């Protein structure tokens, strides 16, 4: 397959700034949606650092340069989320925030379809319980969104 025939990666579709905008918008949505209160409570009051780290993660995950790995030395998602009880409800809250963020940044239906299953797998990867019970308080910040 030639370079011209190869499908574009999500990173190529969104571009560097588009990925940054998606990460920022994701956390804006999380801050705004009442139904995302459980996952918002897992984060620090100030979201600036997590927005940067999430942007770095998404950049590599979407086919761009491995920025997050260069910063952290790994792309492990389970360790930073381990202190929190993350069940199906929290996974679904995260996915709802991502769906809305994709809408707000004007992602095409093609891009949304391309990301639907992989985003579910990422969100499900950090799930560490089968139910959604009240949270114990954990650290003030998650290293990855």
Closest CA to 133 of 96, 91, 83, 85: 85
- In CATH, the number for domain 12-125 is 1.10.490.10
Average confidence score pLDDT of the chain: 89
Average pLDDT over residues 63-91: 91
Dihedral, 41, 46, 49, 51 alpha carbons, nearest 10: 70
| Distance in angstroms (rounded) separating the CA atoms of residues 25 and 136 | 27
Residue 16 has pLDDT above 90, yes or no: yes
pTM confidence score: 0.85
Residue 44 has pLDDT above 90, yes or no: yes
Query: Do residues 37 and 96 make contact, with C-beta atoms less than 8 angstroms apart?
Result: no
- The answer to which of 22-31, 73-82, 96-105 has the lowest mean pLDDT is 73-82
Q: What residues contact 111, with CB distance under 8 A and at least 6 apart?
A: 10, 13, 14, 102
Average pLDDT over residues 84-112: 97
Average pLDDT over residues 94-112: 98
| Distance in angstroms (rounded) separating the CA atoms of residues 34 and 24 | 18
Amino acid 135: pLDDT: 45
Closest CA to 54 of 78, 81, 19, 89: 19
| Distance in angstroms (rounded) separating the CA atoms of residues 135 and 31 | 18
């Amino acid at each position: 397959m030639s370079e011209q025939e190869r499908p574009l990666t999500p990173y190529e579709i969104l571009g560097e700034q588009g990925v940054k905008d998606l990460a920022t918008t994701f956390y804006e949505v999380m801050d705004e949606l009442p139904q995302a209160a459980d996952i918002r409570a897992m984060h620090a009051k100030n979201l600036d650092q997590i927005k940067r780290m999430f942007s770095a993660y998404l950049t590599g995950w979407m086919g761009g340069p491995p920025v997050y790995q260069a910063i952290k030395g790994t792309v492990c998602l389970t360790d930073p989320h381990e202190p929190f009880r993350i069940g199906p409800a929290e996974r679904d809250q995260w996915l709802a925030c991502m769906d809305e963020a994709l809408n707000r940044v004007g992602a095409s239906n093609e891009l949304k379809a391309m990301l639907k299953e992989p985003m579910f797998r990422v969100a499900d990867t950090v799930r560490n319980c089968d139910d959604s019970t009240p949270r114990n308080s954990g650290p003030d910040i998650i290293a990855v969104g």
